[in-house]
Copies of this chain bind each other. A is one copy, B any other.
Amino acid sequence: MSDKAYALFEEQQQARGIRLEEVKARLKELKIETPSWGYGDSGTRFKVFQKTGVPRNPFEKLEDAAQVHKVTGLCPSVAIHIPWDKVEDYGKLRSHAESFGLRIGAVNPNLFQDDDYMLGSVTNSNEAIRRKAIGHLLECVDVAKETGSKDLSLWFADGTNYPGQGDIRRRKRWMLEALSEMYKALTPEMRMLIEYKAFEPAFYHTDIADWGMAYNYAVKLGPQAAVLVDTGHHLPGANIEHIVAYLIDEQRLGGFHFNSYKYADDDLIVGSVNPYELFLIFYQILNAANDEDTAIQSSVDGIAYMIDQSHNIEQKIPAMIRSVLNVQTQYAKALLINHDEVADAAGRGDVLGAEDAVRKAFEFDVTPLLQAVREEQGLPADPMKAYLSDSYPNDILGRGKGGASW
């Protein structure tokens, strides 16, 4: 059936002027980084439910991540979090990854789980604490050197819960000082990806609260700094694809932390709440990829796609497979947009025609396309089924409960 389905799909898309070989080539280039912490236990402030089979150390997290890559072919790199993934010998961690065909991806400093950081890390009014926090940032640059990582993903929980608790403008300056010191330590191939978040765990003000603040820091730092968009870090109603398009146009979109939200930073599986939004994000990215300006094109090439979620109640590895498949699905759909058709309608002021030209691509079922691509890549046609019918899910139960968590 799947051959027939693909043949029909091909016929349909060719009739629309879509070049399927190009679509397939782009699909084969798609890479989505998974986070080591996404394989461990997580929860809400009310409860962390412990699952059986959760990895007990950074090495086992890589083993789980390798399973995701094995069945999807999409996830050759794994982001790490320091100190959650602190090991004595990062060379060994790197070799372990490489033994599975993986590499270590972005290095994520952790500046929110130490008692010292209760009132801020790099923006703490206490200079010694700021120095300690900066020290950790520099340590992470060193870790990146050892693991061969190119990206440093920076999320700061820093902020305040009450007016007066901190001097907003002074904290802003301390943030710049810390980022500047870290920036100087980067090697030329490295990038600093600066994340923003509207709220949580700070509930009055967050030092880097929106894309504008992250962007402004990036501009002040230099070309190796860019903005990291976590899709769950916005106020209600935010048009994320607008922000994405804007940052690409400024050549400052460094990457994504993908996840879904309905209310706040719910950290649900990406694509599970409003899949159309994810599609529209890729629409903006692909629109820019087609730009005549080569600077814009290469800016798009540099976008790092990363998952960052909390699988509070889900089985961890299947949840990650689901996530990357959802991203792949929406990316594939966005590749079916006929940009000329959109532009023609828009140019005529045909609002409904332009909207239709975009939405239409979303409505195609891309299963035959994805199966064809997987087949060409020697991957299982149904990655989830392949994983679940393997012995691995059962094998890891031997790890017991009480593995890694945050």
Which chain B positions have C-beta within 8 A of A28? none
Fill in one digit per residue for A264-282: 1 if any B CB lies within 8 Å of its CB, else 0.
1010110011111100100
How far apart are the CA atoms of A119 and B47 in the complex, in Å? 12
Using A163-B280, A237-B262, A355-B165 as known contacts, say yes or no to A268 and B203 having CB atoms under 8 A apart: yes
Whether A25 is near chain B, meaning CB under 8 Å from some CB there, is: no
Question: Is B351 in contact with A249, judged by CB distance below 8 angstroms?
Answer: no
How far apart are the CA atoms of A74 and B291 in the complex, in Å? 41
Which chain B positions have C-beta within 8 A of A180? none
Fill in one digit per residue for A344-384: 1 if any B CB lies within 8 Å of its CB, else 0.
01110101101111110011110100000000000000001
Which residues of A from 255 to 298 have beta carbons under 8 Å from B?
A: 261-264, 266, 268-269, 272-277, 280, 283-284, 287-288, 291
Question: Is A199 in contact with B264, judged by CB distance below 8 angstroms?
Answer: yes
Question: Is B359 in contact with A367, judged by CB distance below 8 angstroms?
Answer: no
Interface size on A, residues (CB 8 A): 109
Which chain B positions have C-beta within 8 A of A163? 241, 280, 283, 355, 358-359
Question: Is A125 in contact with B5, judged by CB distance below 8 angstroms?
Answer: no
Which residues of A from 113 to 140 have beta carbons under 8 Å from B?
A: 113, 115, 118-119, 125-126
How far apart are the CA atoms of A129 and B73 in the complex, in Å? 40
Query: Which of A62-70, A83-91, A166-174 forms part of the interface with chain B?
Result: A166-174
A253 CB to nearest B CB, Å: 12
Whether A49 is near chain B, meaning CB under 8 Å from some CB there, is: yes
Query: Which of A144-152, A184-192, A208-216, A392-400 forms part of the interface with chain B?
Result: A208-216
Question: Is B263 in contact with A203, judged by CB distance below 8 angstroms?
Answer: yes
How far apart are the CA atoms of A313 and B165 in the complex, in Å? 11
A203 CB to nearest B CB, Å: 4
Using A198-B263, A347-B125 as known contacts, say yes or no to A237 and B236 having CB atoms under 8 A apart: yes
Whether A82 is near chain B, meaning CB under 8 Å from some CB there, is: no
Question: Is B198 in contact with A237, judged by CB distance below 8 angstroms?
Answer: yes
Query: Which of A92-100, A101-109, A314-322 forms part of the interface with chain B?
Result: A314-322
Most buried by B among A264, A284, A352: A352
Question: Is A169 in contact with B347, judged by CB distance below 8 angstroms?
Answer: no
Whether A312 is near chain B, meaning CB under 8 Å from some CB there, is: yes
Question: Is A313 in contact with B119, judged by CB distance below 8 angstroms?
Answer: yes
Which chain B positions have C-beta within 8 A of A46? 112-113, 157, 201
Which chain B positions have C-beta within 8 A of A364? 365
Whether A181 is near chain B, meaning CB under 8 Å from some CB there, is: no
A-B contact pairs, 10 of them (CB 8 A): A49-B115, A50-B115, A164-B359, A165-B346, A165-B354, A168-B241, A169-B288, A199-B264, A239-B262, A274-B274
| A contact set with B: CB distance below 8 Å | 1, 4-5, 8, 11-12, 15, 42-47, 49-50, 112-113, 115, 118-119, 125-126, 157, 161-169, 172-173, 198-201, 203-205, 209-213, 215-216, 234-239, 241-242, 245-246, 248-250, 261-264, 266, 268-269, 272-277, 280, 283-284, 287-288, 291, 310, 312-315, 318-319, 322, 329, 342-343, 345-347, 349, 351-352, 354-359, 362-365, 367, 384
Question: What 5 A-B pairs are tightest by C-beta distance, nearest first?
Answer: A212-B212, A164-B358, A236-B236, A203-B266, A44-B201
